[in-house]
A and B are shown apart, each in its own frame.
Chain A
Amino acid sequence: MRNIDCRGMRCPLPIIMIAERIKNEEPGSRVILLSDDPATWPDLQAWGRMQSHFVNQIDEITFEVTA
């Protein structure tokens, strides 16, 4: 499982970075996103709904995204 560290970045950068990364992943593989921006969790959920990716919050700044 690979990590993307977006700590210290503001919206929409964490979402842009996860979207770029997920394009190159095999369907079903998982990527961990680290982000401390308060908009990340609501935006990640909306992005997952729009782009058909499963997203999960592990702790306050750790999120799991399924390609």
Chain B
Amino acid sequence: MGSITASFTSENSLHPRAQEIFLDAIGRGWADPAKIHHASRELTRLLGESREIFANRLKIASTSIYFLGEPNLGFLLGIEGVRAYQSAASTHFPATARQEVMAIVAGREGAKKLNVNLNGGWAVPIGSISDLLIHPTVNLETGATAPSAEEFIGRIFVDATADPLVGLPSNWSTALWDAKSWAGPLGLAVFAIKDASEWLNPLPHLDHRKVPGSYNPALVIAAAVALEATTADRNNSETQISLLNALIRRYIIDEIGDVDIASCNDAVHHLLSFSFLYLDAEQLVDQMERRGFSLDSGSACISADLEPSHVLAAMGRLTHGNVRLHLSPDLTEVTVVEMLTQLKAVVEELRAQ
């Protein structure tokens, strides 16, 4: 297999600016911030600065921020912590008032209203929960941004793990970000609780701490540096990436054809998903890699369970022959044109077989 000319996959390596300070952060991050030694005080200062960067960029109060060493734990804390409070609070309400509520559930293609029977309790799948809205700001597959949740009367858990720069609805309750989404280190999440008096710790706990606290401080410092750098990159490259996105859309329709574009026009510009008719995505991804371009796919033949992407299927989009592109801020038109030329050749070759 030849060398890779360009990667269009979603795996960002650690941002170069974060790589520069990473070893130094590891060197400082061993101290215990709870102690009063010089190294501890120094680490506390660095963590405080990082916290301010997160507060500023993610537009939340610094006092609402908690760090998690296991990003997926944030889903449990964000959802169950609100549910635990709701269960405790609901005992004070007359049961009849809570029999049935109208909930707006934000889906991939728009908000829909559901009548939800609360007597059904908690046994409903995530995504259609009665009076708690699970609000993913951006769909990781298609880049589609969620419809506004400002009108929702209830509590909102915001899943911001796909993109840090799409804002929160003003009525959010809990929110979760993953540092890897902004080219930060793996293994660090930023979790936020807007009003701690309306949240109960759903985990077994002995003290007043809201999260386990088992995170690596060096990752916090590196994640803050990466967030600053990625925000600047994204701001500087926004016009260029939007032009490249439009160029790719035009080319695959006009020059390749029989293609179904899953990303709507108002999706974030750095994510683009489309599917070619009559193609096996595994062969397509493999052939493109041989020609120096790494791509992602949501097709069944690529997935571990051989099931088609539920996102594409739910949207009524073609699930086979799918390609997902992640357009990084340093991408050039020359690279994109080169990739598209190879893509056209591979699609034609595979369709001819």
Closest to A50 in B: B260
The count of residues in chain B whose C-beta lies closer than 8 Å to any C-beta of chain A is 21
B211 interface residue (CB < 8 Å to A): no
Instruction: Please tell me if A15 contacts chain B, counting CB pairs below 8 Å.
Output: yes
| Partner among A19, A39, A49 whose Cβ is within 8 Å of the Cβ of B319 | A39
Interface string of A14-50 (1 = CB under 8 A from B): 0110010000000000000000001100110111011
Q: In the complex, what distance in Å separates the CA atom of A33 from the CA atom of B316? A: 19
Q: Which range holds the interface residue count of chain A?
A: 10 to 19
On whether the beta carbons of B277 and A47 are closer than 8 Å, the reply is: yes
Residues of B within 8 A of A11 (CB): 280, 299-301, 308, 319-320
Pair A38/B317 contact, Cβ less than 8 Å = no
Greatest chain A CB density within 10 A among B280, B308, B313, B318 is at B318
Report the Cα distance A16→B317, complex, angstroms.
16
Interface centre among A10, A15, A39, A45 (most CB of B within 10 A): A39
Do the beta carbons of B308 and A39 come within 8 Å of each other? yes
Query: Are A39 and B316 neighbours in the complex by a CB distance under 8 Å?
Result: no
Cα separation A45 to B318 with both chains bound (whole Å)? 8
Q: Does B70 contact A (CB under 8 A)?
A: no
- A sample of 20 more A-B contacts (CB under 8 A), given A12-B278, A50-B258, is A10-B300, A11-B280, A11-B300, A11-B320, A12-B277, A12-B280, A12-B321, A15-B320, A39-B299, A39-B300, A39-B320, A42-B312, A42-B313, A43-B308, A43-B319, A46-B260, A46-B316, A46-B317, A47-B277, A49-B316
Interface residues of A (CB under 8 A from B): 10-12, 15-16, 19, 38-39, 42-43, 45-47, 49-50
20 contacts across the A-B interface (CB closer than 8 A): A10-B306, A11-B280, A11-B299, A11-B300, A11-B301, A11-B308, A19-B277, A38-B300, A38-B307, A39-B308, A42-B312, A42-B313, A42-B318, A43-B320, A46-B275, A46-B318, A47-B277, A49-B316, A50-B258, A50-B260
